[in-house]
Structure 1
Amino acid sequence: MAPARSNILVLPGDGIGPEAMAEVDKIIAWTNAEGLTAIETDVDLVGGAAYDDHGQAISDAAMEKALAADAVLFGAVGGPKWDDVPYDARPEAGLLRLRKDLALFANLRPAICYPALASASSLKPELVEGLDILIVRELTGGVYFGEPKEVVTLENGEQRAVDTQVYTTHEIDRIARVAFELARTRSNQVCSMEKRNVMRSGVLWNKVVTATHADFQDVELSHMLADAGGMQLVRAPKQFDVIVTDNLFGDMLSDVAAMLTGSLGMLPSASLGAEDATTGKRKAMYEPVHGSAPDIAGQGKANPIAMVASFAMMLRYSLGMADLATQVETAIANVLDAGIRTGDIAGSGITPVSTSQMGDALLAEVQKVVAG
């Protein structure tokens, strides 16, 4: 049976984003040619590239494409070139608008340490080998979106900056449900992290997650203060399965977890919206965690693995192709087992390959895995 047609909006962005995205393009071209997928891609601008073209971090036309797409595949945005642009037009504003307008409230960030890379972690190999954590971060609420958000000048001439942490019962309940549902596909354990000892939003977070757990009694639930959670992530990370937390703490804790794996260049992410009541589908965007890395942009040094792994997450969560997603992920592990490395994960004594060479190796391995 022919695969269902899917429409993907590709937003390569800035820095190493276009370089990493080019390696995903190779895989999509091959899976389409082999009849494994029927992915139609449309490409547009985001971030600094969009600002240079039309003075906005993302255009209304690009947002319309994103809203109509089955999924968005996103590269990276930002760089020192745009440090002085107006705040509302900064490259990151394009990413925030995508998250807000698509109502992508659930950010999934896996932290997986491939056995071949255990020695590349900043922790002892025995602490991270076999690590497989999933951080579920609430993405559209909290301090990043709360109002008031302002810098005001006081009567005495001093300035005061205000950011507001705001959460409702509904926002907490729906992210907790995503975490519990995902835990059921893994090891059935969820740890909820907040700061209920000093933040009223943390008190509500703890209360609502506990109440929601009543519908998921088969899943083990624990609670931990977010600062203690950060400490435990670097002390004994394999104690965790699924971590659910708010926007601010999720941002920080997922970056801590990322470095346990040896490189930010290794980690994908998915941002999901609510299920459509009629189709059951979700708005979704997939992106690597590593950012735009402007210091190595254009040099062929970027690691495309996180971008390819983000494509695999898209196959699994948006296109209903879990088997092909697993095959792509297996190919990544096989390439690493073969000792093929970009510079960020090469280590001493290993000659690193370029971005395109890594992409070629990944495609060749996908072809082998698919062929059986």
Structure 2
Amino acid sequence: MKYTVLALGGDGIGPEILKAGIDVANAIVEETDLELDISYDLIGGICWDEHQTFCQPKTVAAAQKTSAVLVGAVGGAKWDKLKIDVLPEERDGLMRLRKEMRAFFGMRPARYYPQLHNQTPYARGKVENSDLMVLREMCGGAMFAQPRGIKIEKNQRYAYDTAGYAETEIRQFAVCGFELARLRKNRLVSIDKSNVMESYRLWREVVQEVSNEYKDVEVKHLYADNCAFQIAMDPKKFDIVLACNFLGDLFSDLAGIISGGLGMLPSASLCGPPVGLTKGIYEPVHGSAPDLIGAGIANPIGMILSVGMMFNYSFGRKDLSNRIEHAVNQVLEAGCVTPDVGGTASTDEVTAKVVKEIQK
């Protein structure tokens, strides 16, 4: 079976960690009937420098034809300062890719690693066995909605954004969340600010309507501020957190505390429900970290685990995904970790150890 993969290294440490992920992907398929056909292209600031766009139309077209897309990292201060009057997705190549692929179902897992406990702020006994998934709607809400802008009003600058969702957007996202809940622990928490915002009132109403079709899944609604407090205090009582684009961005980083660092966090943005084979974009949660370029110490684990998610959701090979996760756990057990999580290993050393564990 052949699967096509579009690999987009992006900016900063992106190309370095992308290489690590591809090394692991190639290692895991060596003794299987799978064949990976990997092509490469540009995205992000490096694409702007060459083509004056953050994501070329041909890249979007190629992504729409592939089985999956791997992304390293995008962005940096150099390009944040550009003054171009365009839509948000035209300022961010990854946002454009998600929007045009309709990769709306964001999955951001965070789990506790006992080997990295000292990298968390928790006392012993407070975080053990935590394993939660923040689900983030990726193609709507405040990140994309119009109108937005900055204008002069009463002799001063006035900035405004729109936080809006269509009922159909909320419904398709919620359905995917409930489907995933059935694959996990049959419980889900939906977060909002329905006490103060109309868009969140609709969010809560639609999620509750969808829950009526999933009587086997326990659903709770929490205000986002209260949920943030509860996750910080007792993360192990949560399994799935269902959030809009804006809140999902915040809560996925918050949940990452239990893993010991952002470098440990993978993510997937799927174009449909997490059942069967679904096209998706796979990337680590962390940023491009331009200060680490060429240092050889970027943490590859988030990228490697993102590759594992690709094998699970886009290739239907959960067995290979599990092998990647097991290999990562063995490497952590051996203490082979990068400086961001308390170690001294290089990117290449961690990657080589994971590959070696896979090949055992």
**TM-score, normalization: structure 1?**
0.92
CA distance in 2, matches of 1:176, 1:82: 34
SS, match of residue 128 in structure 1: coil
Does 1:16 pair with 2:8? no
Does 1:361 pair with 2:357? no
Corresponding residue of 1:317: 313
CA distance in 2, matches of 1:235, 1:121: 13
In the TM superposition, what is the alpha-carbon distance from 1:22 to its structure 2 partner? 1.1
In the TM superposition, what is the alpha-carbon distance from 1:92 to its structure 2 partner? 5.7
SS, match of residue 82 in structure 2: coil
Give yes or no for contact 1:16–1:296 (8 Å, CA) kept in 2. Answer: yes
Corresponding residue of 1:250: 248
Q: How does 1:82-161 map to 2 (within 5 A)?
A: 82-87=79-84, 88=86, 93-154=92-153, 156-161=154-159
In the TM superposition, what is the alpha-carbon distance from 1:280 to its structure 2 partner? 6.5
CA distance in 2, matches of 1:77, 1:314: 19
- The one-letter amino acid of 2:224's match is A
- The one-letter amino acid of 1:61's match is K
In the TM superposition, what is the alpha-carbon distance from 1:220 to its structure 2 partner? 0.6
SS, match of residue 359 in structure 1: helix
- The one-letter amino acid of 1:224's match is L
Corresponding residue of 1:328: 324
Corresponding residue of 2:204: 206
Residues 366 and 238 of structure 1, relative CA distance in 2, 3 Å threshold:
same
**TM-score, normalization: structure 2?**
0.95
Runs of 4+ aligned residues of structure 1 deviating over 6 Å after TM superposition are none
Corresponding residue of 2:59: 62
SS, match of residue 136 in structure 1: strand
Give yes or no for contact 2:276–2:316 (8 Å, CA) kept in 1. Answer: no
CA distance in 1, matches of 2:259, 2:81: 34
Give yes or no for contact 2:25–2:307 (8 Å, CA) kept in 1. Answer: no
CA distance in 1, matches of 2:89, 2:221: 36
Give yes or no for contact 2:176–2:272 (8 Å, CA) kept in 1. Answer: no
SS, match of residue 6 in structure 2: strand
Does 1:169 pair with 2:170? no
In the TM superposition, what is the alpha-carbon distance from 1:27 to its structure 2 partner? 1.9
Does 1:294 pair with 2:290? yes
Give yes or no for contact 1:74–1:286 (8 Å, CA) kept in 2. Answer: yes
CA distance in 1, matches of 2:146, 2:79: 26
- The one-letter amino acid of 2:10's match is G
In the TM superposition, what is the alpha-carbon distance from 1:170 to its structure 2 partner? 1.1
Corresponding residue of 1:40: 37
In the TM superposition, what is the alpha-carbon distance from 1:115 to its structure 2 partner? 1.8
Among candidates 338, 346, 349, match of residue 334 of structure 2: 338
SS, match of residue 216 in structure 1: coil
Among candidates 301, 306, 312, match of residue 305 of structure 1: 301
Q: Could you tell which deviates more after superposition, 262-271 or 90-99?
A: 90-99
Give yes or no for contact 2:176–2:273 (8 Å, CA) kept in 1. Answer: no
Give yes or no for contact 1:78–1:92 (8 Å, CA) kept in 2. Answer: no
Give yes or no for contact 1:48–1:77 (8 Å, CA) kept in 2. Answer: yes
CA distance in 1, matches of 2:214, 2:4: 34
CA distance in 2, matches of 1:270, 1:58: 19
Partner deviation per Cα, 1:111-145 (whole Å, 9 max, x = no partner): 11112112211222322222100111111111111
Q: Could you tell which deviates more after superposition, 176-185 or 27-36?
A: 27-36
CA distance in 2, matches of 1:24, 1:50: 21
Corresponding residue of 1:233: 231
CA distance in 2, matches of 1:22, 1:301: 13
Aligned length: 358
Give yes or no for contact 1:109–1:134 (8 Å, CA) kept in 2. Answer: yes
Give yes or no for contact 2:89–2:96 (8 Å, CA) kept in 1. Answer: no
CA distance in 1, matches of 2:310, 2:177: 18
- The one-letter amino acid of 1:100's match is K
Give yes or no for contact 1:82–1:91 (8 Å, CA) kept in 2. Answer: no
Residues 86 and 282 of structure 1, relative CA distance in 2, 3 Å threshold:
farther
In the TM superposition, what is the alpha-carbon distance from 1:9 to its structure 2 partner? 0.3
- The one-letter amino acid of 1:41's match is I
Give yes or no for contact 1:48–1:90 (8 Å, CA) kept in 2. Answer: no
Question: Percent identity of the aligned residues?
Answer: 39
- The one-letter amino acid of 1:358's match is V
Corresponding residue of 1:283: 279
Give yes or no for contact 1:234–1:260 (8 Å, CA) kept in 2. Answer: no
CA distance in 2, matches of 1:303, 1:166: 36
